[in-house]
Amino acid sequence: KDKASVENTVAHVATWVIAGLRQQQFTSLPELRAAITDRVGAYNAEPFQKRPGSRASVFAAEEQPLLTGLPAAAYEISRWAYGRRVGRNGHVVWERNYYSVPFAHVGTSVDLRITDRVLQAYRGSERLTSHLLLPESAANEYRTNDADLPAGEKYRQWDPERVREWAGRIGPAAVTVVNRIFESVPVDEQGLDAALAVLRLSRRYSAERVEAACRLALAGRVRSPRYAHLQPILATEQDKAAGLRPPRDEGVEHGGYVRGAEYYAGGAK
């Protein structure tokens, strides 16, 4: 109901301020801004015609005590990603990068709130952790808060060195496969998922069978065997067939069969 009255007052103030500044000349915007501020202050200090006080005195007595300070942080527009699963490494994936979540939430789903600067993980209305957002150009990088990790030596982040250690416990062929995976990518971290997919086959099959499958794959024409090459070998038990096949028993020739001069001489007769 007061909208029209407020609009009329604003228009009246603007007209009054402009009228008072029309005869002046200004050489810069700060100079003009200061003059407008003084003019508005003078308008608010003018006494009311039908009651005591002025706009400035009413503001100081009635409105100013009710004002609260502005928030310490400016409002940021955010977007949400719901139902993101926390991996076994205690991190959640967002735009090809990894952000840690408290280790107690491994295997659960969390919601992500993303602004221009920050990524936050929520479980319901509880905020679990907060990270500075990695730049858009980043890929396969980690943001890890120490407080999100379990105490002691219970957790160790996967890196190329640790992956090679695991491959070494399986066998030399597995080491070769892992090394070739890392050689096929520009940055080692980009090969972590592919290498781990190969090594995790040993959780379903034995390490001996995975090593045999790696040997078979390396004997083929694939330069860098991956999970897609090894899993069918194990599923169809080609590695077992290769292990049961007896080795070819071929005699070793120390010299060729040579027909001497007598043979040819005899044939010429």
40 neighbors 9 (Cβ within 8 angstroms): no
Is 120 contained in some domain?
yes
Is 155 contained in some domain?
no
Domain count of the fold of the chain = 3
Is 189 contained in some domain?
yes
pLDDT averaged over every residue in the chain: 85
The 10s digit of each residue's pLDDT in 168-190 is 999 999 999 999 999 988 878 77
The tokens for 206 are 């034995």
Q: Which long-range contacts (CB under 8 A, 24 or more apart) does 116-122 make?
A: 116/76, 116/77, 117/76, 118/76, 119/94, 119/143, 121/84, 121/92
Residue 144 sits in the same domain as residue 164: no
Residue 176 sits in the same domain as residue 237: yes
Is 259 contained in some domain?
no
Parent domain of 143 = 79-148
Residue 117 has pLDDT above 70, yes or no: yes
Residue 140 sits in the same domain as residue 95: yes
Residue 216 burial (CB count, 10 A): 19
Residue 181 burial (CB count, 10 A): 26
Residue 109 has pLDDT above 90, yes or no: yes
Residue 89 sits in the same domain as residue 143: yes
Residue 169 sits in the same domain as residue 143: no
Is 249 contained in some domain?
no
Total-model pTM: 0.44
Structure confidence at residue 264 (pLDDT): 53
Is 15 contained in some domain?
yes
Domain termination residue (choose one: 12, 35, 66):
66
Nearest C-alpha neighbor of 177 from the set 120, 220, 238:
220
State how far the Cα of 3 lies from the Cα of 246, in Å rounded to an integer: 96
Res. 243 pLDDT band, cuts 50 70 90: low
Residue 57 sits in the same domain as residue 115: no
The tokens for 93 are 């994936």
Structure confidence at residue 195 (pLDDT): 92
Res. 245 pLDDT band, cuts 50 70 90: very low
Residue 140 sits in the same domain as residue 164: no
Residue 250 has pLDDT above 60, yes or no: no
Is 201 contained in some domain?
yes
Residue 248 has pLDDT above 50, yes or no: no
- Taking the alpha carbons at both ends of the chain, their separation in whole angstroms is 134
Residue 107 sits in the same domain as residue 128: yes
